Amino acid sequence: MTEPLWRRCAAPALLVLIVILFYWKLTLTTQYSWMESPDVAYLLLPWFQFQAVQWHHGAFPLWDPTGFAGQTLFGQAQPGAAYPPNWLLYLSPLYHGIIRERALDWYYVLIRCLAAVNCYALCRGLGRSRMASVLGGCVFALGGFIANITWPEKVNGAVWAPLVLLYLFRAISSEPGGDDASSRTWSNAALSGFFLGVTWLGGHHEAALFLSLAVIVMWACSKRVWLAALSLVVAGLAGGFQTIPLLEYGARAARWIGLPNDPLSAGQTVPYTNHMQYSLKPISLFAVFLPHMDDDPSNPFVGIVALSLAVLGAILAWRERRVRWLAALALGGILFALGGNSIFHGVMYAVVPLVDKARSPSMALSLLALGLAPLAAFGLDALALPSSFRWSQRAGRVLAGMAVLMAAVSLVLYLVKVEPAISDNRLMITALCAILGSALLASWRANSISARAGGVAAVALILFELANVTTYWLPHKSLDATRNAYLRRFSEHTDIAAFLRGVGGEPARIEYDDQVIPYNFGDWFGLNASGLDTFTAYLASVPVDLWQLNLFSERGQDFLGIKYYLGKTPNPLLHRDQREVFQGSSGVKVFENLSAYPRAWAVHEAIALPAGMAARDALNSPQFDPLRTAFVRAGPPPKLEQCDSTGDSVRMPLHAENSVRITAHLACRGMVVLTDSWFPGWRASVDGRAVPIDEVDGAVRGVTVDTGDHVVEMSYRPWSVILGGAMSLFAVALVVLIRRREHKN
């Protein structure tokens, strides 16, 4: 008999409610914030704001004009432009043009709701009871990697991992669905691959890469070659919307990794010392059950109760193959996360492609969480079996012993007035949970509590323990001033933004002192026709061709059209006098550079870059005048005409997110130069006729224009995004086709 829909949905709905109430600080009050960290506040939040504004103006944001002369959003990956759930955030109502903080809070919580429901589905697919599956969902979503990583782009991929595992298990085994599951082997393999591809859409490559490596190993051990091939092909197709633009950009970008020799180009290997820096410290293994071991953002904490249940689940259900896989996954995640302290990570770094690009081995703790949560569900179900008596008794004794030990240590440290070296006063919470867990196991063995009541008590105990770590760190907006130093910076410069928007004339580029304005000013305050376009940016990468120019010289600043500088003192890169034109209430001043080049101009001479000469040397040469001559480094230069160019007129009435419009009157055939970064995907037309865009002066755009009046339009229509989107849609169609075909058979 088919189970009623309401009954099947009741437990997942309860789980969603649990997650929402667990994050009561974000969902039921407005007193706390999760965004008080430099990367989230200064980088990610402005990205969200920029994309939300574009969505509300009916544009699909592909290109960010602010930051190092413009960058592709899809290619950078971290903005999450290719991740459909993010689009719902961007479409949420704005408040005076600003993305609402409440929407961001719910976005953060709903990510965890999705993780909990997906893990619940995995646990149910593994044959676990509803109560045990709810417990597994809580452990996965409210503890470990998912709960303690604040960067949404890193978490978004990991939340789909349980579904990858669910359908992979179904594809390589007839369990738990019996004949029905085995009859849909191909569609299960396709679905596993599809969700693996979805993990790549989230915005960051590390968790997706580590999961992909684990899946490849599991398929290799299953020896089901054709199923593995189908699954991995579907994964490649499904992730194409993000991976194809990422590959295109990555091959042309330099990346900052926090080392003195930054940034590194795609062809350079990330030094292993960088991986060691972001590895899990061996002492942090205790952080799986002890709160506040260190300040590592990849905190693996799941609590002593969940850990005990997971160990019991692994021991008591070891004969089941999938349990062994879960245990191996958890152990593999730990061994990889240890990075510099693990020879296994070192060998993979040296041998396996792309592993060197994942410079934070500690992110492999996502695999630990993926293995531990279902094992905890196995442990809860196993307690109802008579065979569990002996192991339950041993676990109870261990928990009781640890409770006594931790309580004694806490008391001694308190009496001698010594701050605990391995934890803070929440060590007593762990001790309390350990003794309560021991008592719960004893009650279970004595049959003095029902299975349902015991399950409820176990879930409640886990929630109590997790809440002392997962939401404990959230700073209070008004009472914790030292930890609320980031978001308040955004309101300090609104008067400067208003002044710059009100400046008439051609769009002008802006540079600013990132010590006084540390966030992405241009993304936050938006781009419009009046020219609020910044060059400075808090970014992880930049196109190599642009970076290799001498950007931070007097010639470089003039060439890029940097007309305004925001800071307490004038632009230190310009040696000439600069005119102060405005001072904001924060004390930040606006200085005007009267020698800045226009954003677009015309030249009537194009030459080839001399052999052996670097673009930056040519641009810096006193003999080279960029306002009269352009050089190209690839292919023959276009044929231009030299004439009296005093009558030339070049204006740029539109400089938007994905398009540019320039009006030009030329006395004879010439080239219109725009100092926005050249990148594949930009297309140009002159009076509606398609023309090529040349990469000129090392890194910017040039379009050849004939004599007379013309309209030059440039639009960003990248083949990489179009192809990647088509691949992802084809993956959806392929999965549906395979599933329907097997269902008919």
At 5-35, the pLDDT tens digits run 777 888 999 999 999 999 999 999 999 999 9
Main-chain phi, psi angles of 549, to 5 degrees: -75, 160
Q: Which two tokens stand for residue 289?
A: 């059950």
Angle in degrees, CA 436, 117, 217, rounded to 5: 95
Say if CB 536 and CB 511 are below 8 A apart.
yes
Q: Which two tokens stand for residue 101?
A: 């903080």
**Residue 530, pLDDT above cutoff 50:** no
**Dist. CA 632–CA 678, nearest whole Å:** 12
Mean pLDDT of 709-734: 96
Instruction: Give tens-digit pLDDT for 335-361.
Output: 999 998 999 999 999 999 889 888 899
**Residue 244, pLDDT above cutoff 90:** yes
Sign of the Cα pseudo-torsion (141, 95, 497, 528, in order): positive
CA atoms within 13 A on the CB side of 234: 28
**Dist. CA 344–CA 339, nearest whole Å:** 8
Instruction: Give tens-digit pLDDT for 480-521.
Output: 877 788 888 888 999 999 999 888 777 789 999 999 999 999
Say if CB 479 and CB 534 are below 8 A apart.
no
Q: Which two tokens stand for residue 487?
A: 């978001």
Q: What ranges do the domains of the chain cover?
A: 129-248+265-467, 600-721
Helix 161-172 to helix 206-222 angle (10° resolution) is: 10
**Dist. CA 354–CA 339, nearest whole Å:** 15
Distance of CA 569 to the CA centre of its chain: 35
**Residue 638, pLDDT above cutoff 60:** yes
State the DSSP H helix or E strand holding residue 630, giving kind and residue range, or none if neither: strand 629-632
Q: How confident is the model at residue 141 (pLDDT cuts 50, 70, 90)?
A: very high
Q: What percent of the chain has pLDDT over 70?
A: 95
**Residue 177, pLDDT above cutoff 90:** no
**Dist. CA 244–CA 231, nearest whole Å:** 18
Cα dihedral: 81, 83, 88, 93 (round 10): -20
The 10 Å CB-count burial string (b at 16+, else e) for 581-615 is: ebebebebbbbbbeebbbbbbbbbebeebeeeeeb
- Looking at residue 332, its amino acid is G
Instruction: Give tens-digit pLDDT for 187-229.
Output: 999 999 999 999 999 989 999 999 999 999 999 998 888 999 9
Mean pLDDT of 285-308: 83
Residue 609 DSSP code: P
pLDDT of residue 457: 94
Instruction: Give tens-digit pLDDT for 665-712.
Output: 999 999 999 999 999 999 999 999 999 999 999 899 999 999 999 999
Main-chain phi, psi angles of 316, to 5 degrees: -75, -20
pLDDT of residue 564: 94
Residue of 323, 18, 32, 11 whose CA lies nearest to 143: 18
Q: How confident is the model at residue 294 (pLDDT cuts 50, 70, 90)?
A: low
pLDDT of residue 416: 76
SS3 683: strand
Q: How confident is the model at residue 174 (pLDDT cuts 50, 70, 90)?
A: low
- Contacts with 475 (C-beta within 8 Å, 6 or more apart), sequence order: 32, 33, 36, 483, 484
**Residue 386, pLDDT above cutoff 70:** yes
Instruction: Give tens-digit pLDDT for 67-103.
Output: 899 999 999 999 999 999 999 999 999 998 899 999 9
Say if CB 527 and CB 553 are below 8 A apart.
no
How many other CB atoms sit within 10 Å of the CB of residue 167?
Answer: 26
The 3-state secondary structure of 203-227 reads CCCHHHHHHHHHHHHHHHHHCCHHH
Lowest mean pLDDT among 146-155, 378-387, 665-674, 718-727: 378-387
Number of H helices, E strands in the chain: 30, 23
CA distances in angstroms from 674 to 193, 599, 615, 706, listed in the order given: 43, 6, 17, 16
**Residue 637, pLDDT above cutoff 80:** yes
**Dist. CA 739–CA 188, nearest whole Å:** 8
Residue 597 DSSP code: P
Sign of the Cα pseudo-torsion (69, 75, 77, 81, in order): positive
- 164 vs 614 pLDDT, higher one: 164
SS3 34: coil
**Dist. CA 384–CA 378, nearest whole Å:** 11
**Residue 253, pLDDT above cutoff 80:** yes
**Dist. CA 211–CA 202, nearest whole Å:** 13
pLDDT of residue 179: 46
Residue whose entry in the numeric block shows the structure tokens 């030459």:
607
SS3 348: helix
Q: How confident is the model at residue 36 (pLDDT cuts 50, 70, 90)?
A: confident
Helices (H), 383-426: 389-415
Mean pLDDT of 25-51: 92
**Dist. CA 315–CA 391, nearest whole Å:** 8
pLDDT of residue 622: 86
SS3 434: helix
Helix 451-467 to helix 5-22 angle (10° resolution) is: 30
- Looking at residue 729, its amino acid is L
Say if CB 191 and CB 167 are below 8 A apart.
yes
- Looking at residue 594, its amino acid is L
Sheet with 541-543: strands ordered across: 264-265, 253-255, 541-543
**Residue 580, pLDDT above cutoff 70:** yes
pLDDT of residue 424: 67
- Looking at residue 410, its amino acid is S
CA distances in angstroms from 629 to 549, 618, 677, listed in the order given: 17, 11, 18
**Dist. CA 463–CA 141, nearest whole Å:** 11
SS3 685: strand
The 10 Å CB-count burial string (b at 16+, else e) for 693-726 is: bbbbbbbbbbbbbeeeebebbbbbebebbeebbe
pLDDT of residue 291: 85
Mean pLDDT of 217-246: 94
**Residue 1, pLDDT above cutoff 90:** no
Distance of CA 454 to the CA centre of its chain: 38
pLDDT of residue 117: 97
How many other CB atoms sit within 10 Å of the CB of residue 450?
Answer: 12
